[in-house]
Structure 1
Amino acid sequence: MAEPLSVALVGIGKIARDQHIPALNADPDWTLAATVSRSGGVDGVENFADLPQMLEARPDIGVVSLAVPPVPRFAMAAAAIGAGRHVMLEKPPGATLAECHALSAQAQAAGVTLHATWHSRMAHGVAAAKEWLAERELKRLRVTWKEDVRRWHPGQEWIWQAGGLGVFDPGINALSILTEILPAPVHLSRAVLDFPGNRDTPIAAELDFAHPGGAEVSAVFDWRQEGPQTWDIEAETDAGTMRLSDGGATFRAEGAAPVEGPDREYPRLYARMAELVRAGTSEVDLAPMVHVADAFTLGRRRVVEPFDW
């Protein structure tokens, strides 16, 4: 068995504690060798107040995983790549497409791995949905991604600030699945974005896409959902219907065996990162970010009631 890879996890917030740390602790391919956080690290793991300090003190750590908000991520990723470290990016991989292209070029020049991760693509039903759609003619596809921002981002002001993406923070998860499972790419043709009067980012969005075969493809994202949460993708084809639910974890379709299972998204991300590092390659797919950028460019803005916690 190959030696475990040492990783420094930057940003010890909710997503790190809920997903990254359990995934790393359960994987013999990885050793959580250090954390970088101003608000506290992980028991038994060396913590640093900032990334430059860690890079200087721990040249033995070859991988940096960035679980920080998108706006500060570029400078951190560039510093890690400049120090010769492999870099794993939480979604979205950056605040802008230009930043991501710059990081990709820098990583290629430095000969290190850059992995732009899309955790929802690792959900149990996604591969089955991709295979099922590949053999059929799509007629209609509808994405419904509605959740309660107070439940999933309690008190996190950065998501409402410029660069924080607002409802596209979860919505980009749906777009990452959409761009993975469709046999033919689509592009945005219409968008309506609802902005709270006191916020810089949208709380809801309606999207329509142009499909090369004329299929109707649309999405609705909303952060005001109370009660049951909805993360569904439904498709109609010339040979039956398909439904991905629970954020891609559950697959049901006519003529196909159902697929479902426990959450393994982040363990699969780290397994993929280990493969890329050992192979000396990178993986930077920006297709989901293109749709988000197009929505902000093309979208019609509607001002809705202010949002407060």
Structure 2
Amino acid sequence: MSIPVTVVGIGKIARDQHLPAIAGNPDFHLAAAVSRHGTVEGVPNFTDFDRFLAEGPAGPVALCTPPSVRLEMALKTIAAGRDLLIEKPPAATLGEIETISAAARDAGVVLFATWHSRFAPAVAPARAWIAERKVERVTITWKEDVRRWHPGQAWIWQPGGFGVFDPGINALSILTEILPGAIHVGAATLEVPQNCATPIAAQLAMTARGTVPVAAAFDWRHEGVQTWDIEVEASGQRLTLGMGGAQMAIDGTPVDLPAEAEYPEIYRHFARLVAARESDADFAPLRLCADAFLVGRQVAVAPFTE
């Protein structure tokens, strides 16, 4: 029998990714939707989260709301004894996700803080390739057009909205997966539009494994070819992850990979976690974002308009 799951926050990411992934997974079926603005045909729809918890169907909850409002919902979900999947980034602050994680552990509830880019097909092979070599340098280039990928999402420019770190954290989630161990942010430049509270571009200088330089450039103003690349120089060779981990090459030679299926893989992993009563909640990418904001030098740039 499949597991009933309720999606909370029926926005672009829920419609584009979560709902199709649930529909294609025999371990789950969509039981309900909770949203102030969106609805899903064929299931009960709720506009009030408390009413859903009291009257709605049982089963896990997938939180797809903006991170700034997740803490209260997550804690109420856990208090109701429901397993919880959280869209990335898992919370607005490290303190919030630590509180959520502790509550889930104490309640015996499964918590899955998802990082969808870690399920890109090149990530596991890249981690295995790196594990056998001495890493010399890592370069991240993450440049896209915010108007194309996040239209009308004003929350990303408000405090707690992450700005360009909303996609940039995807790169950091891959980095922390393929290069395990301590990574420190030494310096950062955050370019903040004059009418916004969060950056539209950022440059990070980090260090991994004590001596390995890691440079990252995030930019949301890029109107040309959209770029989501990570390049790793190791033992005299060069590994390149392209298209956010959908592609991989060694010294320019492409590596055959399975088809991209990030969100289907997320729900397959969630089914395994629920069956084993285990949690998966790693905060390393969020920590790097927080460190960048702490040490970053802010530079005012032109106002942003849709």
TM above 0.5, one fold? yes
Match of 1:249 among 234, 240, 246: 246
Match of 1:12 in 2: 10
Deviation of 1:53 after TM superposition, in Å, equals 0.9
SS in 2 for 1:220: strand
Match of 1:127 among 120, 124, 129: 124
Deviation of 1:113 after TM superposition, in Å, equals 0.5
Deviation of 1:140 after TM superposition, in Å, equals 1.1
Alignment deviations for residues 39-60 of structure 1 (CA, whole Å, 9 cap, x no partner): 23111111011211111112x4
8 Å CA contact 2:61, 2:82 repeated in 1: yes
Residue 255 of structure 2 corresponds to residue 258 of structure 1: yes
Residue 296 of structure 2 corresponds to residue 299 of structure 1: yes
8 Å CA contact 2:229, 2:243 repeated in 1: yes
Aligned pairs (5 A) from 1:36-55: 36-55=34-53
Alignment deviations for residues 54-107 of structure 1 (CA, whole Å, 9 cap, x no partner): 11112x422000011000011111111111101100000000000101011111
Deviation of 1:215 after TM superposition, in Å, equals 2.2
How many residues in Structure 1 have an aligned counterpart in Structure 2? 306
Match of 2:215 among 218, 221, 227: 218
Determine the C-alpha separation between the residues in 2 that align with 1:46 and 1:227: 42
SS in 2 for 1:85: coil
Determine the C-alpha separation between the residues in 2 that align with 1:302 and 1:217: 21
Match of 2:285 in 1: 288
Alignment deviations for residues 202-236 of structure 1 (CA, whole Å, 9 cap, x no partner): 00000011233522211000000002100000111
Match of 2:65 in 1: 68
Match of 2:22 in 1: 24
Match of 1:167 among 164, 168, 176: 164
% identical aligned pairs: 53
SS in 2 for 1:165: coil
Match of 1:57 among 55, 60, 63: 55
Determine the C-alpha separation between the residues in 1 that align with 2:60 and 2:180: 33
8 Å CA contact 2:11, 2:38 repeated in 1: no
Match of 1:279 in 2: 276
Match of 2:31 in 1: 33
Determine the C-alpha separation between the residues in 2 that align with 1:294 and 1:259: 36
Determine the C-alpha separation between the residues in 2 that align with 1:303 and 1:268: 39
SS in 1 for 2:61: strand
Aligned pairs (5 A) from 1:56-205: 56-58=54-56, 60-205=57-202
Determine the C-alpha separation between the residues in 2 that align with 1:186 and 1:249: 24
Determine the C-alpha separation between the residues in 2 that align with 1:162 and 1:295: 15
Following TM superposition, the consecutive aligned residue runs of length 4 or more in structure 1 with deviations greater than 4 angstroms are: 254-257
Determine the C-alpha separation between the residues in 1 that align with 2:168 and 2:51: 34
- For structure 2, the residue ranges without an aligned partner over 5 or more in a row are none
Determine the C-alpha separation between the residues in 1 that align with 2:119 and 2:137: 24
8 Å CA contact 2:188, 2:292 repeated in 1: yes
Match of 1:230 in 2: 227
Determine the C-alpha separation between the residues in 2 that align with 1:273 and 1:115: 7
Deviation of 1:149 after TM superposition, in Å, equals 0.3
Deviation of 1:254 after TM superposition, in Å, equals 4.3
Determine the C-alpha separation between the residues in 2 that align with 1:220 and 1:116: 25
8 Å CA contact 1:5, 1:30 repeated in 2: yes
Tell me the amino acid that sits aligned with residue 5 of structure 1. Answer: I
Determine the C-alpha separation between the residues in 1 that align with 2:208 and 2:92: 27
Q: CA RMSD in A?
A: 1.3
Alignment deviations for residues 150-198 of structure 1 (CA, whole Å, 9 cap, x no partner): 0010011000000000000000000000000014432111111000011
- For structure 1, the residue ranges without an aligned partner over 5 or more in a row are none
8 Å CA contact 1:133, 1:183 repeated in 2: no
Determine the C-alpha separation between the residues in 1 that align with 2:202 and 2:127: 25
